[in-house]
Amino acid sequence: DISDNKRAVRRLRTACERAKRTLSSSTQASIEIDSLYEGVDFYTSVTRARFEELNADLFRGTLEPVEKALRDAKMDKAQVHDIVLVGGSTRIPKIQKLLQDLFNGKELNKSINPDEA
């Protein structure tokens, strides 16, 4: 159990974050950490499909603020002219697909950097 080892947890989180970013543009990512904990090397790979499966609940939850904003504004989805992605997580293909599906296939505006919007 590495949870008590802050350095090992930090290294694992950093490697997982890197893998998440890789999976936004590739279908598979490797995680390789030499001597992660007590001299043991850690190597694994994750596919985009597995990543999406593991995070399905989180991804679905990203739609809640969008739906709430529409309700609060008393707007119908059809009244939305432009869907601008904001925040780094909007680079995740599954989140983009969920948003596009929510807006009945409307094209997403990807011309603005999500980190700068």
Q: Is the pLDDT of residue 117 over 80?
A: no
Return d(Cα 99, Cα 89) in angstroms, integer: 12
Q: What is the pLDDT of residues 45-90, one digit of tens each?
A: 999 999 999 999 999 999 999 999 999 999 999 999 999 998 888 9
Give the pLDDT of residue 87: 86
pTM above 0.85, yes or no: no
Contact present, 28 and 45 (Cβ < 8 Å): yes
**What does the pLDDT look like over 88-107, one tens digit per residue?**
889 999 999 999 999 999 99
Burial class (CB in 10 A: 0-12, 13-18, 19+), 74: exposed
In the three-class reduction of DSSP (H, G, I as helix; E, B as strand; rest coil), residue 20 is classed as: helix
Q: Going from the N-terminus, what domains does the chain have, and what CATH number goes with each?
A: 6-54 (3.90.640.10), 56-102 (no CATH)
Give buried/exposed letters for 82-96 (b at 16+ CB in 10 A, else e): ebebeeeebbbebbb
Q: What per-residue confidence (pLDDT) applies to 88?
A: 83
Report the distance separating Cα 82 and Cα 54, nearest Å: 30
44, β-bridge pairs: 31
The pLDDT assigned to 13 comes to: 97
